[in-house]
Chains A and B, each alone.
Chain A
Amino acid sequence: MNIVGPEGKMIPALPDLFVWNEDQVQLMSAHCQSCDTYFFPAFHEQHRPGCSRQGVQKVLLNKNGILKSYTIQHYMPPLPFKTEGNITPYIIGLVEFPEGIQIAGIVKECPFHALKIGLSMEVVTFTLYRNEQGQEVVTWAFQPTDPIRDK
């Protein structure tokens, strides 16, 4: 699986969180077969009390999920959040994946008026900034599965 994207033009801001190829972006989770819990990030284990912790396997989550909550942020957070310029106002969404885990991320390509709990979302990348090598430093993000035409 590609950690560095096609042609090496994009690199993740931090490793081991998501993967991508030409067709899709997927978040890297881990699943405990003993207590049936999914973790994100994969290395942040959160077992059910009493679990044997046997059989934890890395899994890629479904590329689609459902928006369960959101906010529109109007102030830039301090470092270490680094972007090319001020990106406010930006949307943070909480997306539920069919495996049974909710994950937070930036939402793009979604006009504010279209924000609605229950919206179908797809995992994509979001370019935070360009590094000195000219590569796009990216994070995971969500966008509506069906493109929304602005009113």
Chain B
Amino acid sequence: MREVAIIGIGLHPWGKFPQKTFIDLGVEAVSKALVDAQIQWKEIETICSGIYIWGGNAGHLSGQYLASVFGETGIPIVNVYNACATGASAMRMATMSIASGQVDVALAVGMDVSPEGFLGAKSDDPKQDRDVLRWRMVGMPNPIYWAIECRKRMEKYGTTEEDLARVKVLLSKYGAQNPNSRYKKIYTMEEVLSSKMVSDPLRLYEICATSDGAAAVILCAASKARQYTSKPITVAASTLGSALYGDPTLRISAISAPAKAEAPLLSESYSASQQAYKQAGIGPEDIDILELPDNSSWHYLQYLETCGFCGEGAAESMVREGQTQIGGRLPVCPSGGFASFGEAIGAQAAWQVAEVVMQLRGQCGSRQVADAKVGMAQTYGLMGNSGTTILKR
């Protein structure tokens, strides 16, 4: 397998853009990535593109729609749908296309437009779409799943309301310094702790919003990367994971879980990250910065454990001691995280990769992590699918 490098990234800022289409967002991200890589559109040899569910039929063919804007060149285009891991799937496929020797230059792109408020059901056909059960019979939007896991954690490890609020306070400081974030306000503990309760114990500011956004990544055979950039970023690992039998997580969409745990919580994310460490030939102790999926404050704490950055129940003290701050042992989400961006499901994994690239290049200004050499981007695991990307400079 050939070594693969990232030579360009581009983002459309996160926010709500009701006047724009997902294609508008994607075009901006890809245009910026082309400029960043100093490469011509005609040099792109394959496109791996993805969006979540609100693009209709055009969304299912997002790559073709993007290509038509820049000019159709006959190259292979694959459209991926893999829920939260959509962008990670596009990354993995683009990486494999180059590593295998099929192409030298590939574009991975994720875009999304989201409705306001709670994400709802996709259909009302309970026969084909079992997701309907949790809506019709139980009334369970996504934050309920997070709250149920969070409550288990509080019972098991004594996680406090302050531990949950502290995550938002910390991330809001970084988000305020990121030009691409949606939320720039810096929050105090008091403000977070007095925000509305949504799904007890999770409050409004401890749950990410739903956003629009787009991210593009241009990858190249490492042997040719220096033709385009003086700072290529090596893809040390690009993996996908699925769940393990016996995972005790009450997974979004499911209405049951096994009583006896025979696998780790969030086993799909455990699987993706373990594969990534193996592929990269390193361990969690070698990671200098981590972008994790903080859909809620619970996720932030849980992912530190799931991906092996601390032992069971130790995430809270890691955060309390400042180990996850810029300047600490493991800066976590120096981008500001989903807390500052909101989730744009199809785009967020590619965005996390772009944020890690900017850190490794030293382009992050006031929120730059000093001397970051190895970074990791980790996605969440809706219905048991997840992706991990490890990058090195």
User: Does A77 lie at the interface of the complex (its beta carbon under 8 Å from any beta carbon of B)?
Assistant: yes
Residues of chain A within 8 A (CB-CB) of B144 are: 71, 73, 92
Residue of B198, B255, B259 touching A96 (CB-CB under 8 A): B259
Interface residues as binary, A68-110 with B (CB distance below 8 Å gives 1, 0 otherwise):
1111111111111111000100101010110011111110000
- Residue ID in chain A nearest B152 by CB atoms: A69
Segment 28-75 of A: residues with Cβ below 8 Å from B: 37, 39-41, 44, 46-49, 68-75
A94 touches B155 (CB 8 A): no
**A13: min CB distance to chain B, Å:** 5
B199 touches A74 (CB 8 A): yes
Interface residues as binary, B255-281 with A (CB distance below 8 Å gives 1, 0 otherwise):
111111000000000000000000000
* C-alpha gap A104/B147 in the complex (Å): 13
B258 touches A102 (CB 8 A): yes
* C-alpha gap A97/B105 in the complex (Å): 54
**B65: min CB distance to chain A, Å:** 28
Residue of A48, A71, A97, A102 touching B200 (CB-CB under 8 A): A71
B130 touches A105 (CB 8 A): no
User: Does B140 lie at the interface of the complex (its beta carbon under 8 Å from any beta carbon of A)?
Assistant: yes
Residues of chain A within 8 A (CB-CB) of B130 are: 41, 44
A102 touches B138 (CB 8 A): no
User: Does B318 lie at the interface of the complex (its beta carbon under 8 Å from any beta carbon of A)?
Assistant: no
Residues of chain B within 8 A (CB-CB) of A74 are: 196-200
- Residue ID in chain B nearest A47 by CB atoms: B245
Residue of A75, A79, A100, A139 touching B137 (CB-CB under 8 A): A139
Segment 175-207 of B: residues with Cβ below 8 Å from A: 196-202
Residues of chain B within 8 A (CB-CB) of A87 are: 139
User: Does B250 lie at the interface of the complex (its beta carbon under 8 Å from any beta carbon of A)?
Assistant: yes
With A44-B130, A75-B118, A101-B256 known to touch, is A82 a contact of B136 (CB < 8 Å)? yes
Residues of chain A within 8 A (CB-CB) of B200 are: 71-74
A94 touches B118 (CB 8 A): no
User: Does B151 lie at the interface of the complex (its beta carbon under 8 Å from any beta carbon of A)?
Assistant: yes
* C-alpha gap A48/B118 in the complex (Å): 33
A102 touches B137 (CB 8 A): no
Residue of A44, A70, A73, A97 touching B139 (CB-CB under 8 A): A73
**B385: min CB distance to chain A, Å:** 15
**A89: min CB distance to chain B, Å:** 8
Residues of chain B within 8 A (CB-CB) of A11 are: none
B149 touches A69 (CB 8 A): yes
**A23: min CB distance to chain B, Å:** 22
A102 touches B147 (CB 8 A): no
Q: With contacts defined as CB atoms under 8 Å apart, how many contacts are there between chain A and chain B in the complex?
A: 130
B152 touches A92 (CB 8 A): no
Residue of B134, B148, B198 touching A70 (CB-CB under 8 A): B148
User: Does A17 lie at the interface of the complex (its beta carbon under 8 Å from any beta carbon of B)?
Assistant: yes
Residues of chain B within 8 A (CB-CB) of A117 are: 151-152, 155
* C-alpha gap A102/B130 in the complex (Å): 17
Residue of A44, A46, A75, A92 touching B148 (CB-CB under 8 A): A92
Residue of A72, A77, A94 touching B257 (CB-CB under 8 A): A94
Interface residues as binary, B127-138 with A (CB distance below 8 Å gives 1, 0 otherwise):
000101111111
B148 touches A103 (CB 8 A): no
* C-alpha gap A100/B246 in the complex (Å): 11
A68 touches B197 (CB 8 A): no
- Residue ID in chain B nearest A18 by CB atoms: B137
Residues of chain A within 8 A (CB-CB) of B255 are: 40-41, 103-105
Residue of B124, B256, B259 touching A104 (CB-CB under 8 A): B256
Residues of chain B within 8 A (CB-CB) of A70 are: 148, 151
B138 touches A106 (CB 8 A): yes
User: Does B120 lie at the interface of the complex (its beta carbon under 8 Å from any beta carbon of A)?
Assistant: yes
Residues of chain A within 8 A (CB-CB) of B197 are: 72, 74
B259 touches A101 (CB 8 A): yes
Residues of chain A within 8 A (CB-CB) of B202 are: 71
Residues of chain A within 8 A (CB-CB) of B152 are: 68-69, 117
- Residue ID in chain A nearest B142 by CB atoms: A77
Residue of A75, A78, A94 touching B250 (CB-CB under 8 A): A94
Interface residues as binary, A101-139 with B (CB distance below 8 Å gives 1, 0 otherwise):
111111000000000010000000000000000000001
Residues of chain B within 8 A (CB-CB) of A92 are: 138-140, 144, 148
Residues of chain B within 8 A (CB-CB) of A13 are: 136-137
Sampled A-B contacts (9; CB under 8 Å): A13-B136, A41-B255, A69-B151, A69-B250, A71-B148, A71-B202, A73-B141, A102-B257, A117-B151
- In order of increasing CB-CB distance, the 6 nearest A-B pairs are A71-B147, A72-B200, A40-B256, A78-B120, A81-B139, A100-B259
Other A-B pairs, 8, CB within 8 Å; known A73-B200, A100-B260: A14-B136, A17-B137, A71-B199, A74-B200, A96-B259, A104-B140, A106-B138, A117-B152
* Chain A residues near B (Cβ < 8 Å): 13-14, 17, 37, 39-41, 44, 46-49, 68-83, 87, 90, 92, 94, 96-97, 100-106, 117, 139-140
* Chain B residues near A (Cβ < 8 Å): 117-118, 120-121, 124, 126, 130, 132-141, 144, 147-149, 151-152, 155, 196-202, 245-246, 250, 254-260
